[in-house]
Amino acid sequence: MSIDLAEQTVVVVGASSGMGRATALAFVKAGARVFAVARRADRLESLAKDAAGQAGTLTTIVADATIPADVERVISTASGENGRLDTLVYCTGANTPDRSLDRVTPEIWSSLLDANLTGAFLCTKAALPTMRTQGGGLIVYLSSAAVQMPDVSGVAYQASKHGLVGLAHGTRVEEKAHGIRTTVVFPGLCDTEILNARPVPTPQEVLSRALDPEDVAETVLFLARLPARAVVPELQLLPARI
């Protein structure tokens, strides 16, 4: 039987747009207590309006996942409501037009690694004590299909998304005795704002066949609804016609 998400505590990091926004809304509609985290306050305000009147509740937290103190505040706020943290979803992703090796700088490299990987590590570290105490929990990391199918998305982006795999699997092996599960989701082309950072715009005929953010959100809900005895270490989600 699938798990009822009503009353579960869920933290979605990177909830201001794209897959993260869709995921936060999907959990609220499923009845969860959602804590939506992002740096852009205005985007979170818009999300809160869209979440109003749904089965669950949504609390917005303005925070930067690359700042340890911000991350500790997020987890403390979320788990402090009822002493639980059932699911953590790390949706934050960034890229740059200056992604090719002849243009990427050490500063760009560091900024992308921070946003895409270091933030995930900080959130994981902060969430583990609560999950250990309660005897389990799920952490979902949104990576990229570029991990399996190398492309021209840039070495910094690809390295950071590869890094999520090591973080997820290492965490799962170390923490499985505490009932903590991890899943890495590898979405293919999805119509989100990150595509605006491409050096060359994606043709509309290609975008029309891309995934919607809601497709990714439904995938995350599927993972969260699995019983605690089951885990999906990796899940690839691709557009059917690309």
Token pair recorded at residue 184:
């890495």
3-state secondary structure 28-89: HHCCCEEEEEECCHHHHHHHHHHHCCCCCEEEEEECCCCCHHHHHHHHHHHHHCCCCCCEEE
Q: Which residues of the chain have pLDDT under 70?
A: 1
CA 24, distance to chain mean position in Å, is: 10
List of domains in the chain:
9-237 (3.40.50.720)
- Known catalytic residue at 176: no
Strand arrangement, sheet containing 137-142: 57-62, 33-38, 9-13, 87-90, 137-142, 180-187, 234-237
Which amino acid does the sequence have at 154?
A: G
| pLDDT at residue 2 in the model | 86
End-to-end CA gap in the chain: 33
| pLDDT at residue 154 in the model | 94
| pLDDT at residue 200 in the model | 86
Please give the Cα distance from 151 to 135 (Å, whole number): 40
Please give the Cα distance from 205 to 29 (Å, whole number): 31
DSSP one-letter code for 233 = S
Tokens 């993260």 map to which residue?
20
CA 117, distance to chain mean position in Å, is: 11
The active-site residue, picked from 90, 125, 141, 161, is 161
- Known catalytic residue at 141: no
| pLDDT at residue 197 in the model | 84
| pLDDT at residue 220 in the model | 98
Are 100 and 154 contacting, i.e. CB atoms less than 8 angstroms apart?
A: yes
The active-site residue, picked from 49, 141, 157, 176, is 157
Question: Sign of torsion, CA 143 145 150 153?
Answer: negative
Write down how long the chain is.
242
Please give the Cα distance from 138 to 42 (Å, whole number): 29
Max Cα-Cα span within the chain: 52
Distances (CA, A) of 145 to 31, 118, 234: 30, 20, 11
